[in-house]
Amino acid sequence: MSVHSDDYRVMPNQTVKLKKFPTRYDGKMTKEEGLEKIAELYRRLSELQALLYADGKQSLLVVLQAMDAAGKDSTIRNVFSPLNPQGCKVASFKAPNSVETMHDFLWRIHQNVPRSGYIGVFNRSHYEDVLVARVKNLAPKEIIKRRYEHINNFEALLRDAGTRVVKFYLHITADYQKTQLQKRLDTPEKNWKFSPSDIPERMHWDEYQEAFAAAFSHCSTADAPWYIVPAERKWFRNLLIAQVIVETLEGMNLHYPQAQFDPKEVKIP
Ligand code: ATP
Ligand code: MG
């Protein structure tokens, strides 16, 4: 039983209608089979991370975007737990601070791109500047329109510099979000995760969906693809993301560096 990651990938310039993409995996694989596959993928991920680090010439950037309470935190906790913390860095992007707003929108992003040998995870990203910025009119329309091209050029620059970019949208329905937000209210240990501002954001659900769809149509490129992940079954969400990351690392032509000496000739005194 295998998953075809291409089924979830947005092709360049594809018109995206989010309603047509599943939010909940309903394929043939059982949860039990899925968990077995995940264990295998996590082992492979750990091996490939060691190889990426040893090779030391390229890096991988994983971008996560979603509506509130879709499971970005839980994805990071699960999919990236097999990794060696030395060699992995997570950056979370909140509303820009006073210094960040005095720069172009990619300034704070560029500084957090993983260096060679590393896997970087973006919990929200530069895409906020074509999502929340578009929905809340944080910049003039013409400026926001130009950002799609800025983003594509930026991601092409990263690719040229040895950073692979792969982007995941955790797709859920408005009903599922409601259930998840309610859990944050009902569970005292989860109260801190609830923000009263989640409610007004939720009122803009359709506009957000349109903004996401536009971002995927404009910015899913051959080198930096977007994947629309059905996120309402967590095991499948983890499986698909881990699989795409494994496939991406496997396609990076990584090698352990050749020793610059003959190990057989070296005698340790
Ligand atoms: P959780 O899922 O746990 O709530 P979160 O990622 O939503 O985590 P919050 O602190 O609740 O974290 O929200 C971060 C907020 O920062 C979001 O509302 C997001 O839209 C906003 N934000 C991020 N980047 C930008 C940006 N460039 N411009 C404006 N707002 C931004
Ligand atoms: Mg939030």
Helix H or strand E segment including 226: strand 226-230
User: Is any atom of ligand 1 closer than 6 Å to the C-beta of 21?
Assistant: no
How far away, in angstroms, is 69 Cα from ligand 2 center?
7
Please, which residues have CB within 8 angstroms of residue 83's CB and are 6 or more apart in sequence? 45, 46, 49, 119
The strand ranges marked E within 79-154 are 88-92, 119-123
Name residue, tokens 């394929």: 27
User: Is any atom of ligand 1 closer than 6 Å to the C-beta of 109?
Assistant: no
Distance between CA 235 and CA 233 in Å, rounded? 6
Please, which residues have CB within 8 angstroms of residue 85's CB and are 6 or more apart in sequence? none
pLDDT at 227: 98
Q: All domains of the chain, ordered by start, with CATH?
A: 10-252 (3.40.50.300)
pLDDT at 234: 98
Counting ligand 1 atoms within 8 A of each CB, the residue from 128, 172, 193 with the most, and so the one to mutate, is 128
pLDDT at 87: 98
pLDDT at 231: 98
Q: Give the pTM.
A: 0.97
pLDDT at 139: 97
pLDDT in tens, the chain (269 residues): 789 999 999 999 999 999 999 999 999 999 999 999 999 999 999 999 999 999 999 999 999 999 999 999 999 999 999 999 999 999 999 999 999 999 999 999 999 999 999 999 999 999 999 999 999 999 999 999 999 999 999 999 999 999 999 999 999 999 999 999 999 999 999 999 999 999 999 999 999 999 999 999 999 999 999 999 999 999 999 999 999 999 999 999 999 999 999 999 999 99
